[in-house]
Structure 1
């Protein structure tokens, strides 16, 4: 089929490659504009733009899918629009511009975790199962009928970034199967069933750790906000980024929430139900380092981290983005 593809981050790149490899004609790629990256703030193309350039595909950059984007799409006369983590809503009249409308690859098991950050919220909430859906895009937020789904047990120590990489690959395979079914007239969409929950974009404060929470919830939050927006704690007004953590040794002593101490070769910190082990940290103004190296450099026997605010269940209010 003749396809318009909209996407921006690394997670969308496998889908773009899969559609091209399957023999579909990607007539246009829409992505977000180049963004300043790094300390020198150098304008850098999005991962999808870079992939499209390597594939010699035409690229249209747009902050949002408005009139100029619709005109670019209309001129390609596409059969189908495909969107994967573009970062903005498709509204009418663009929604109806492709002959068969738009489909969306979304990294959750809908209707659970509709919105911008489904993988992060699934991990924070401690979901045991994750997945990806391809659904028909409608004016509502991630509300359309589902064409296909892939389900996976959640790896217990995978960060949001690692899990998204896994789902991006599995989702690309699912997406090409759905596009083939639509092209051959064999697709059978089904309405979403179950309670809808929502996954708004995370803020920096969502990475603040509340050491008074149960151990499993603290670990889930660290995994869920890694690599972005990043987990952190504070002590004496200084920020300590927690880049990697895991279960403490089984014989580690139970300490009060937020208390850091050494246990053998491990660095542990107390939570509401027992300690966790710190593996990699980044103190304020310093590079990332092994937690043991950081701790030896402090020359302390104990350090009390601020207990933080309420790191409660993941929010459920909708975020208007696709």
Structure 2
């Protein structure tokens, strides 16, 4: 089959690499336009583009997916199938173009966690299981007929970054399985409406900066899951002496506390922890405004918080 691959971030590179490794004919790659980045605001290519260019695969970077010139260029490749991994929402003029349609790899066990940030929301909600799904695109986002799924467990200490890396590898292999099945005619699409769901459907909307603000009046488990679910990006944050403190890694202490939620305690040497109504969050890795990311010992070596309860 002639395949056009669509994707932008690192998560998509693993799938593209797996398809090429399986001998699939990737005739073109569609990815995001180059964007200014860094202090010098120099144009930065997506990692998918870098990977494709290094292997001599033609790259398309449309600003508008309904642009007539882009649609004509896309059609000229005469693809049999389009594969989408971590890309934009496609108009019907694009996803309906190939004779075999367009398939998508999604980082959740659909129909749960439809949306832009399934990995983050699964961790934030304290899920113990996630997975990947392949499905055919249709009009409503992430609602198309399912092709294959694979589950993966979430460890209590897993961050969004950890789950991302697990699903990236598992998803790439599942995508190869899906493409091979389509080529052989051995796929049996299943409507998501027929999938039994044991709990209410949860969604995974895009994460915004304000979603990372920690509310210390929440239960310690909720705060812990928020920190895990937003690490390493965009990170949960709080305020320390008027400065923004990003938290990348923490431990939870489910113990009785008499401290007001949000109170922070330290020995000035090895720990800094914040009180919740039913326990503490002990910071392990953090970054304060204007400084680099560091572990708690290195942070306390060079920083003396004020307005803090000192304990031994």
* TM-score, normalized by the shorter chain, greater than 0.5: yes
Question: Residue 75 of structure 2 aligns with which residue?
Answer: 74
Matches within 5 A, 1:268-283: 268-283=273-288
Question: Residue 119 of structure 1 aligns with which residue?
Answer: 119
Contact 1:245–1:280 (8 Å) recurs in 2: yes
Question: Residue 182 of structure 1 aligns with which residue?
Answer: 182
Unaligned runs of 5+ in 2: none
- Cα-to-partner distance string for 1:39-83 (whole Å, 9 max, x where unaligned): 222211101101111221110012342233322220011110000
- Cα-to-partner distance string for 1:192-250 (whole Å, 9 max, x where unaligned): 123543211110001111111111110110111112221110245321111221234x8
Contact 1:254–1:275 (8 Å) recurs in 2: no
SS in 2 for 1:270: strand
Distance 1:69 1:166, change over 3 A: farther
- For 2:294 and 2:96, locate their aligned partners in 1 and report how far apart those are by CA, in whole Å: 51
Deviating more after overlay: 144-153 vs 193-202: 193-202
Residue 290 (structure 1) aligned with residue 295 (structure 2): yes
Matches within 5 A, 1:127-146: 127-146=127-146
- For 1:158 and 1:69, locate their aligned partners in 2 and report how far apart those are by CA, in whole Å: 41
- For 1:301 and 1:33, locate their aligned partners in 2 and report how far apart those are by CA, in whole Å: 46
- For 1:94 and 1:17, locate their aligned partners in 2 and report how far apart those are by CA, in whole Å: 23
Residue 22 (structure 1) aligned with residue 22 (structure 2): yes
SS in 1 for 2:14: helix
SS in 1 for 2:292: coil
SS in 1 for 2:276: coil
- For 1:119 and 1:92, locate their aligned partners in 2 and report how far apart those are by CA, in whole Å: 26
- For 2:50 and 2:21, locate their aligned partners in 1 and report how far apart those are by CA, in whole Å: 17
Deviating more after overlay: 56-65 vs 284-293: 284-293
Contact 2:264–2:275 (8 Å) recurs in 1: yes
Question: Residue 157 of structure 1 aligns with which residue?
Answer: 157
- For 1:117 and 1:239, locate their aligned partners in 2 and report how far apart those are by CA, in whole Å: 24
Question: Residue 224 of structure 1 aligns with which residue?
Answer: 229
Residue 10 (structure 1) aligned with residue 10 (structure 2): yes
- For 2:64 and 2:225, locate their aligned partners in 1 and report how far apart those are by CA, in whole Å: 33
SS in 1 for 2:279: coil
Contact 1:103–1:134 (8 Å) recurs in 2: yes
Deviating more after overlay: 252-261 vs 66-75: 252-261
Question: Residue 264 of structure 2 aligns with which residue?
Answer: 260
Distance 1:291 1:4, change over 3 A: same
SS in 2 for 1:93: helix
- For 1:85 and 1:251, locate their aligned partners in 2 and report how far apart those are by CA, in whole Å: 40
In the alignment of these two chains, the number of paired residues is: 302
- For 2:218 and 2:274, locate their aligned partners in 1 and report how far apart those are by CA, in whole Å: 12
Deviating more after overlay: 172-181 vs 194-203: 194-203
Question: Residue 38 of structure 2 aligns with which residue?
Answer: 38
Residue 198 (structure 1) aligned with residue 199 (structure 2): no
- Cα-to-partner distance string for 1:236-267 (whole Å, 9 max, x where unaligned): 5321111221234x889663321221258332
State the TM-score, normalizing by the size of structure 1. 0.88
- For 1:114 and 1:242, locate their aligned partners in 2 and report how far apart those are by CA, in whole Å: 27
By how many angstroms is 1:302 displaced?
Answer: 5.5
SS in 2 for 1:242: strand
Contact 1:206–1:225 (8 Å) recurs in 2: no
Contact 1:8–1:48 (8 Å) recurs in 2: yes
Deviating more after overlay: 191-200 vs 220-229: 191-200
> Could you say which structure has the greater relative contact order, defined with CA pairs below 8 angstroms and 6 or more residues apart?
1
